[in-house]
Chain A
Amino acid sequence: MKHKLNYSNRFKPVLYLWMVLWIAMFNLSPFQVIGNSDYLNDQNDKTVKGRVILPDGSPAFEVTVMVKETLYSALTDEKGQFSVSTTVQNPTLIFSQQDYETREITVEGNDELLVTLVPVKYIDLLWTRQKKDFVTSAVSSISGEDVENLPGVNRNNVLGGRLAGLTVQQSNGQPGLENSSIYMRGLRTLGGADRSPLILIDGYVRESAEYLNPNDIESISLLKDAAGAAIYGLRGSNGALLITTKRGKVQPLEVSLDANFGVQTPTRLPKYLGSYEHALLYNEASRNDGGVDVYDVEALDAFRTGSDPYRYPNVDWMDEFLKDYSTQQNYNVSVRGGTKQLRYFASAGYIDNTGLYNVDKDANTYNTNQDFNVYMLRSNVDVQVTPKLSASMDMSGRIQRWNYPGNMSNPISVLYQLPPNQFPVFNEDGSVAGNSQYTNNPYGLLNLSGYSINTRRVTDATFKVRHDLDMITDGLLFRAAVSFDSFFDQVVRRHKGFVVYEGSRENERGVKEPASQQNNNDIRDNMRVFDMQFGFDYARSFGKHDLNGRFFWNQNNFSGDGSTMPHTYQGVMGRMNYIYNNRYIADVSFSYQGSEQISDNQQYVLFPAVSLGWILSEEEFMKEGSSAISFLKIRGSHGLTGNDSGISYFQKMSFYEKAGSYLIGDNLRSYGGYREGVFGDPDITAEKSRKTNFGLDSRFFNDKLSFSGDIFFEETSGIILGLNDVPGILGARDMPRTNVGVVENKGFELQLGYHEQINDFSYGIQGNLSYAKSKVIDMQEQEYPFAHNYHTGYPVDAKFGYQSMGFFYDETDITNSPVQTFGPVKPGDLKYKDVTGNNIIDIDDIAYIGKSWMPEFLYGATLNMAYKGFDFSALIEGIANAEKYIDNYVYWEFTPNGTGKVMEHHLDRWAYYPDLGIDTRETAAYPRLSLTGDETNNKAPNSDFWLKDASYTRLKSVELGYSLPKKTVNYLRLSKLRIFATGYNLLTFDKIKVIDPEAPGGGNSYPIQRIVNFGINAQF
């Protein structure tokens, strides 16, 4: 094989050099020991003693205490005590440690000192962190504690409303698949490119970050502008959600135990009608289509009275096969602690989430419910190997297991579609009922079709080393990191067909497959990611000048056996941050990154960003002015980010592929074919977003009140789209795609917070409001005959379709109206507006009808209260200015094609049968019923009739906790014991009504859950 790749050979010299380098480094570095009392001991006249504590009274270890005049220094011990000797009168002591704000105290007298240090508020940025007050890019951030006790497996789901600028949409409630889609500042791209931010765990993109153990999370930040994300190069445009896990601390061992248990119920289920109404409406739909009544008076009577449940059944399938509630539970144990030489955090967790199906427990020895569980392990260890060399070893692993009935079947869609009047669950003789049209009796699906298990095993490991290079220059560090992820996804199927009987066992119908069990397994994905970084850090202060920076080389190699194709990124990245006099901040970052998928003509792309900040409150004129302002900073950033996900595999090449076989000969020999592949574009490159952000951070009244605001403007160009203006005579199999689209995106974010402490009572309230609206500048539309056909100028995914104008009243109304071309039109059908005025309704009349599904406004408000041992918090979250189609399975009658069910809202349909005393012509809220298929049905085209306001406000989460008093806790030999109750999706206010406002508007997905949870947290 000519093109066979051998990575191991390529890496050999690299690894070899790396080893040589390390050996060299060890030999080079003269072991120096930082100054301590043993070294710099001379004639001391005076000893200063004291104790350093944190605001909560606990001792602060390992704080460096330095005499400013002599540079003599010492460290605090486990109790926070220190003593320094000096000859200086009234010496000034500097207390410093990276986790706390540095303090300077001039000592007068001989009293023992008590010094309180305040923890520094850091914000995690990509591969670095920065003191919050000096951050110049747009970042929202929360602490892991804010969300760790909230129920639900998927951590992404609890972020909505908490981080300004982040949209979280949960579309599925299935255990273990409660995936939410997340977006940062709306939409900025078109076509097939990724629209979601990268999710990084400790700086790495990792598979399914949403299954992270909630108790492992230290903090979460959302990087929104170019200054935050340009350094991520080809993948930075949609921002990044950084999750930082907990690490060891210099402190005695702390063991934490968590257990919680919750019950979940669907937030909302469609309300289907029973057999009698079903049959009535079915008859009406049939007559509407020109047919005859299918159910006669006798049948209707039997459905109504329920006199013959076998021949005229009335089965509420949802009620029959969905339980009232299901359970979830979560257990976790973690240890955290360390010394200066070794710090560790390790945890083990288990989450179990059960399915809602009412499975017949006696039917099988195995489980057939849609259950999910996950086992999680993590250990983050930091070691100070020598005074100059430190290393970290982070490992995490997970085993996730989804259980399914049958061949991974989805019983919910059957429950949503199976009419109530077809057959009972069981026939009179006890056999499983069914008929030739509906062979999927849910009982059989759930209990008689075997089971499947999907197992996913994930291991992530990172090894990092840092070595001081102060022999070259002070503040310089060499660092290297190697990371390896492995992901294995496998499905084992043990399924079989089941037989249903119509009426009795004699009448066998719908044998789907032999009832012998099929056993097989397939490996769905087997992926590996290998990432290497080498580079230098530099951090040094020169008087009023603070400089720190990082420059490194990175290679990220993805390979897998699944459908995702191999991918390699390589490049150099860097950031340089300069602070003058704690007032003026300048930050420059860049990445120069390439990938094998980018055009050979320019395989590496530069993404630079710059940001500036000015802390006005440090200025003398401000200090003198008003004491109300405790902090005020203005900042701005500008830069370029990239998104390469729209590039298809080796799109830079034109090529041939094996496809299109053909049979030749009377023995039908099959010849494999070759054909031209997708048109290549030799200049293909990543789309680029130019982003500008201005912001302000402020705090007032001794930091009680805080306010931040951001406004942003983004322009994304080079979006990869199909060339819609290429005619079919070119003969391209797929539309040639290239960098052509342009989208603009603008908006703002506001965050306001207030907290107050009144004796034992403290409370805080934080609110945020975000706005983002995109506008398509160029999406390569073909030349339409009318201006109103163009999408350009509207937001990404704005709705286009027909404008409905009520229902046709009668035949005369139809005759006098423009001709509609979507199948036969009858009174009671939707009447569409003739936008073009040419008396015919066709695709030329398609015009803008509604907003994008992406909300323009997001808001969230958190309330926290604490009184003695009690604490309470609640989050209200919502969206506004979004619309979505509610149609198809969740809203249309008898879908698909005359099968399916009817719901409560169909009772308000248009109908006119004077002989039956039915006339809803004036009051109808729904078109006439029909059994015809969707494609030729007048109601099927996208129209504003099916478009609903998707705005909602939710009481997303509530938490009420009680910590037992210290005395009691200590008696139990614990350091903390807290019990709590939490709720998720408790209340919803929206306009959609039929389904959960976050659920997809047309499909039949597993219902989203409301969860009430109880838990306990103990530490010792």
Chain B
Amino acid sequence: MKNYITIIILTALIFSACEGPLDVKPYDKYEAEFVFSVTKKAEEYVLNTYNVLPYGNSNSNGYNRLDGGDAMIASASDEAMPNMSGSTVTYLTNGSLSSTSPNPDNTWNHNYQYIRAINLGLENLDYMPEVDQELKEQYYGELIFLRAFAHFELVKRFGGIPIVTRPLNVQEDLAIPRNTFEECIDFIVGECDLAIQTLLAPEEASGGSLGRISTGAAMALKSRVLLYAASPLYNGNGYDGSGNSLICYGSASPARWEAAARAAADVINLHYYELFSGTGLTDGHTDTQTMSIGEKNYRDIFYTLAGNNELILVRTSALSNAVEKKNTPVGYTNGEGTTGPSQQIVDAYGMVNGKQIGDQESGYDPADPYTNRDPRFYASIFYNGMQWSGRAVETYIGGADNATGATNATKTGYYLSKFMKSDVKIAGSETNTYHCFPLIRYAEILLNYAEAMNEAYGPDADPEGFGKTARNAVEEVRARVLRPSDAAVTAPAGDKDAMREAIRKERRIELAFEDHRHLDVKRWMIGPETLGQNLQGMRITKNGDNYSYEVQSNVSDRVFDTKMYVYPIPQNEINKNKAMEQNPLW
């Protein structure tokens, strides 16, 4: 009997000895203490939150590309249209946008996901025993800058949104109302001011630290935010005239332009940033072998990483030819030609002599429209006859890049060439290049400054002694690509309205396709005459060796309603959050 008891005891032992296998930990997952207690991991945590900065959907495409990396937000403005059929970007232009429709530019979840990551990072800063105080402060500055940036990305699309400054909990009451527009602006500006105290200086955020957020970036963001806040869309009674505090201040104040001017002047007076000119020359009209100096200066901004002091806030991309593939006209092997720039943007480029094409003295010839244009035209647009990769671009009807029935064939007569390096190969033995996509560059600051100064003090006054007038700032931008004598702005002295037009035109072409235009025209409240106009294109026919040009008045239907000055809050968010209020008229 004793033996049997032994068996039972042994059996029981086996059962109990096997308790262990369920007390295991996962292989590839870490707890917060583990991540934040190691300097390298803490740094990597902070660097992941940098991914909140806008970027192409698929890596290396650059800018806020939509539709899985093919359509640019530029195609939702009067700059361009998508060449792909079925692109969802058309929801933004054909009037079918609603709170329940797809909105390809809906960055709601993206930004709130990173706001959460940033808030967790801030909460865990104390966990970083190994990290020295100075680094901790730098991380703190970076995190709160990125949080402010993310909030502004939402504000400029939706108006006032809930400000979230701590990691929320699933269990808590998440019925959180929107903050007013003013509260949002104050919060973002306040955070920029805080960040400026601990961030790296601009010169420290270059070279091996290029891409890191500097005090310059925080000051530049402040400049942009205050410029937006001073603009007609917000600085008054709102687009619906109601004065609803979610979408505007409720009353106009000229002091907001003054604040915007001061913020831009602060960046300028760091005297660190400058307009980049790869050739080192500024006499823009002189031809080099393949392109003019002006054109080269301008093209080089987007793939020069070292010594490029124009970059204030930048996202870089690894060696790639994705941008080139996406944009090369379709007749080239592997060219996807996804974006078709409009006749409107083409017409906005002036002549190399600095005059607008409508000007009698400009020398513009509608029968030969692409000769002697502003160098930035050549650095931004593929046009019929342009030399590229061993042959002339053929966008005439039936040409290699506009063949009948070809996928993504242009409907406007143009393709986009900005951001592309000309010697990158996309077929055969492919070659790649670095790219950098400036999220804020110095030219924008100069134009922000010009706009704010002109609105606050007129074109030629500098009462605060910032060192430049509005006119000086615009001319500085133009002088990179034009001869100094041609860079002069023709607006009469003291004529604020004429100067406003000049500044807007300059901004339109200098910052074309850099995600500015669709928001600029909204904040200027000129939606009907810009976003509401059908997109124009150029129909080019070849007769023997000659071409004839005929402007097409409508290659893409456009609809603009007053409510489209802001996006609707996604209906899901309203359904899930009782305190969430929809934007007026939506």
- A interface residues (Cβ-Cβ under 8 A, vs B): 3, 5, 7, 10, 13-14, 17-18, 20-21, 24-25, 28, 294, 436-437, 471-472, 509-511, 534, 553, 555, 557, 565-566, 568, 570, 572, 594-596, 603, 649-650, 653, 655-677, 679, 723-733, 736, 782-785, 821-824, 840, 842-844, 897-899, 931-937
Contact = CB atoms under 8 A, between A and B. Distances in A.
Given A726-B576, A782-B576, A821 B15 contact: no
Interface in B4-36: 4, 6-7, 10-11, 13-15, 17-32, 34-35
- Which of A5, A555, A594, A674 counts the most chain B CB atoms within 10 A? A674
Contact of B29 (A667, A677, A679): A677
17 contacts: A437-B406, A653-B31, A655-B29, A658-B44, A664-B209, A671-B47, A673-B44, A673-B48, A679-B170, A728-B112, A730-B174, A732-B170, A782-B575, A821-B101, A843-B101, A897-B84, A935-B86
Given A557-B21, A594-B22, 9 more contacts: A570-B18, A659-B48, A660-B51, A668-B319, A675-B117, A784-B575, A843-B571, A935-B86, A936-B91
Contact of A18 (B14, B25, B109, B404): B14
Interface stretch (B92-100, B291-299, B533-541): B92-100
Nearest to B35: A656
B4 to A, nearest CB: 5
A936 B84 CA distance: 11
Given A844-B100, A936-B86, A7 B211 contact: no
B88 A664 contact: no
A729 B174 contact: yes
B44 A672 contact: yes
B112 A662 contact: no
Given A657-B29, A844-B100, A595 B22 contact: yes
A1004 to B, nearest CB: 19
Given A649-B26, A731-B117, A931-B85, A666 B14 contact: no
B43 interface: yes
Contacts of A672: 44
B577 A294 contact: no
B392 interface: no
A729 B94 contact: no
Contacts, number: 255
Given A666-B210, A677-B29, A821-B98, A728 B109 contact: yes
Contacts of A732: 113, 116, 170
Interface string B560-586: 000000000011110111001000000
Contact of A823 (B14, B44, B90, B98): B90
Contacts of B29: 650, 653, 655-657, 677
Interface in B131-179: 162, 164, 167-168, 170, 174, 176
Given A676-B120, A936-B90, A534 B11 contact: yes
Contacts of B206: 666
Contact of B10 (A7, A20, A677): A20
A933 B91 CA distance: 14
B28 A662 contact: no
B104 to A, nearest CB: 10
Contacts of A843: 100-101, 571
Given A7-B21, A821-B101, A509 B174 contact: no
B305 A783 contact: no
B25 A674 contact: no
B13 A665 contact: no
A555 B18 CA distance: 8
User: Which of under 10, 10 to 19, 20 to 34, or 35 or more describes the interface residues of B?
Assistant: 35 or more
Contacts of B47: 661-662, 664, 671, 673
A969 B584 CA distance: 91
Nearest to B29: A655
A490 B44 CA distance: 35
B98 A596 contact: no
B212 A511 contact: no
B21 A570 contact: yes
B18 A842 contact: no
A675 B557 CA distance: 43
B241 interface: no
Given A28-B7, A823-B90, A674 B41 contact: yes
A17 B405 CA distance: 77
Nearest to B43: A671
Contacts of A932: 85-86
B282 to A, nearest CB: 23
B358 to A, nearest CB: 31
A288 B576 CA distance: 41
B18 A14 contact: yes
Interface of B: 3-4, 6-7, 10-11, 13-15, 17-32, 34-35, 41, 43-45, 47-48, 50-51, 84-88, 90-91, 94, 96, 98, 100-102, 108-109, 112-117, 119-120, 162, 164, 167-168, 170, 174, 176, 206-212, 305-306, 315-319, 333, 404-407, 427-428, 434, 557, 570-573, 575-577, 580
Contacts of A656: 29-32, 34-35, 45
B24 A675 contact: no
A733 B120 CA distance: 13
B164 A669 contact: no
Nearest to A723: B170
Given A665-B209, A674-B48, A553 B14 contact: yes
Nearest to A21: B10
A778 B463 CA distance: 67
Nearest to B206: A666
A775 B580 CA distance: 32
A822 B14 CA distance: 65
A669 B208 CA distance: 8
A937 B100 contact: no
B576 A553 contact: no
Given A511-B428, A553-B15, A568 B210 contact: no
B112 A729 contact: yes
A657 B30 contact: yes
A704 to B, nearest CB: 50
A17 B10 contact: yes
A24 B316 contact: no
Nearest to A846: B100
A661 B59 CA distance: 11
B413 to A, nearest CB: 16
A650 B210 CA distance: 38
Contacts of B577: 727, 729
Contact of B31 (A655, A731, A733, A736): A655
Contacts of B14: 14, 17-18, 21, 534, 553
Contacts of B102: 935
A730 B116 contact: yes
Given A294-B405, A731-B112, A936-B87, A674 B211 contact: no
Contacts of A679: 170
A180 to B, nearest CB: 33
Nearest to B174: A727
B175 to A, nearest CB: 8
A785 B207 contact: no
Contacts of B26: 565, 649-650, 653, 655
Nearest to B316: A663
- Which of B14, B164, B580 counts the most chain A CB atoms within 10 A? B14
Contact of A472 (B4, B21, B317): B4
Contacts of A5: 24
B333 to A, nearest CB: 7
B20 A933 contact: no
Nearest to A17: B14
B113 A733 contact: yes
Contacts of A437: 406-407
Contacts of B100: 842-844
B87 A666 contact: no
Contacts of A897: 84-86, 407
A35 to B, nearest CB: 24
B349 to A, nearest CB: 29
A785 B162 CA distance: 23
